[in-house]
Amino acid sequence: MKNIHLGIIEDEPVLRKNIAQFFSDLPGFELQGSSDSVERFMELVPAATPLDVLLLDINLPGGMSGLEGINILKERYKKPDIIMWSSYEDPDKIFRALQSGADSYLIKREPLITIKEAVQIVYNGGAFMSPSIARKVVDYFVPQRREASDNPVLTERQLQIVDGLVNGLSYKMVAADLDISVETVRDHIKKIYKRLHVNNKAEVIRKRMNGEI
């Protein structure tokens, strides 16, 4: 079985030494280099070095942060999978890392066995996030989905039909006012009901009058 070629960039000396020793002692892993900065890592590890997974801290000494180094490291080492290994749990840094090209996000306080599992999962094509990070990602997107659901978007024509109903017009009168057929109005009404998750005209009117659409 092929060894997983691993790199580590972490500025805290004791932590870097411990994690490097842990992986050096594990069968199936080959530590290709460890350093306290992106610049130093690239000095120590030649571009031709096989590198499958890289544990990368965010705040680093020198002129380049971990976030700034993601694309440079991927280009230099033929696109290794990068796991951001950080103490930060604020959404801004999480999403900046993922948007910059990081493949996973791991909190430093995770036990060594979890870090090992994360490296293996990412190497095998998966993605890994610490549970607290995964929750923040979910929480970020759920309100957006809820907002989209609570504020359904109707087309301009559908809104015109809804406004006709609010003004007390019949389907026939709405059709005449908009110069379309009654069947077209009925077709739009079905779509409006489906979009608004309602079953009758009264509910449509109520939503419009309450400013929900």
Q: What ranges in the chain are assigned the alpha helix state H? A: 13-24, 38-44, 66-76, 91-100, 112-123, 131-150, 156-166, 171-178, 182-196, 201-209
- Domain end residue (candidates: 89, 109, 143): 143
Is residue 71 assigned to a domain?
yes
Please give the chain's pLDDT, 213 residues, in tens: 689 999 999 999 999 999 999 999 999 999 999 999 999 999 999 999 999 999 999 888 878 889 899 999 999 998 899 999 888 777 777 878 888 888 888 888 889 999 999 999 889 888 888 777 776 666 665 554 444 445 557 899 999 999 998 888 888 899 999 999 988 998 999 889 888 888 888 888 888 888 888
Same domain, 160 and 130: no
Same domain, 180 and 83: no
This prediction's pTM: 0.63
* Domain enclosing residue 192, as ranges: 156-209
Same domain, 23 and 124: yes
Number of structural domains found in the chain: 2
How many residues does the structure list for the chain? 213
The helix (run of H) or strand (run of E) holding residue 30 is strand 29-35
Tell me, what CATH number does 197's domain have? 1.10.10.10
Distance CA 74, CA 25 (A): 26
Is residue 149 assigned to a domain?
no
DSSP track, 174-190:
HHHHHT--HHHHHHHHH
Sheet holding 81-86, edge to edge: 29-35, 4-9, 53-56, 81-86, 104-107
Is residue 151 assigned to a domain?
no
The answer to whether 53 touches 39, Cβ cutoff 8 Å, is: no
pLDDT at residue number 20:
95
CA-wise closest residue to 16 among 24, 4, 5: 24
Is residue 164 assigned to a domain?
yes
Same domain, 189 and 127: no
pLDDT at residue number 142:
54
Is residue 148 assigned to a domain?
no
- Domain end residue (candidates: 143, 178, 196): 143
Distance CA 195, CA 205 (A): 14
Is residue 98 assigned to a domain?
yes
Distance CA 83, CA 129 (A): 9
Tell me, what CATH number does 103's domain have? 3.40.50.2300
Is residue 84 assigned to a domain?
yes
Is residue 65 assigned to a domain?
yes
Distance CA 160, CA 174 (A): 9
Distance CA 138, CA 163 (A): 37
Q: What value does the CA radius of gyration of the chain take, rounded to a whole number of Å?
A: 27
